[in-house]
């Protein structure tokens, strides 16, 4: 899952996926902005069948590949 997320981020931002680590802070590093977040949410919904509620759209859940994967796993388990 983490590799799919990294590849999505890389394809969306036109950067090399190898520059993104599991703990890279994708917003703090300027890799993603609010429009990128919208694309990411759509990707997660389509790819994993997970719907993010408005209250869940926070850096704790989407700040890094690690956090995104943990969020998806938590939602799928619920």
Task: Read off the pLDDT of each residue in 11-30 and give the average, rounded to a whole number.
Answer: 94
Domain ranges of the chain: 2-77
What per-residue confidence (pLDDT) applies to 66? 98
Record: fold of 2-77: 1.10.1200
pLDDT tier at 78, thresholds 50, 70, 90: confident
**How far, in whole angstroms, is CA 45 from its chain's centroid?**
11
pLDDT tens, residue by residue, 28-72: 999 999 899 999 999 999 999 999 999 999 989 999 999 999 999
Q: Are 41 and 50 in contact (CB under 8 A)?
A: no
Cα gap 50→29, rounded to integer Å: 25
What per-residue confidence (pLDDT) applies to 75? 96
Beta-carbon count within 10 A of 20 CB: 21
């Amino acid at each position: 899952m983490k590799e799919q997320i990294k590849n999505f981020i890389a394809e969306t931002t036109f950067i090399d996926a190898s520059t993104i680590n599991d703990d890279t802070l994708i917003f703090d590093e300027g890799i993603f902005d609010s429009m990128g977040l919208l694309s990411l949410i759509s990707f997660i919904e389509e790819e994993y069948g997970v719907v993010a509620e408005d209250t869940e759209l926070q850096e704790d859940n989407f700040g890094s590949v690690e956090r995104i994967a943990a969020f998806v796993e938590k939602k799928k388990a619920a």
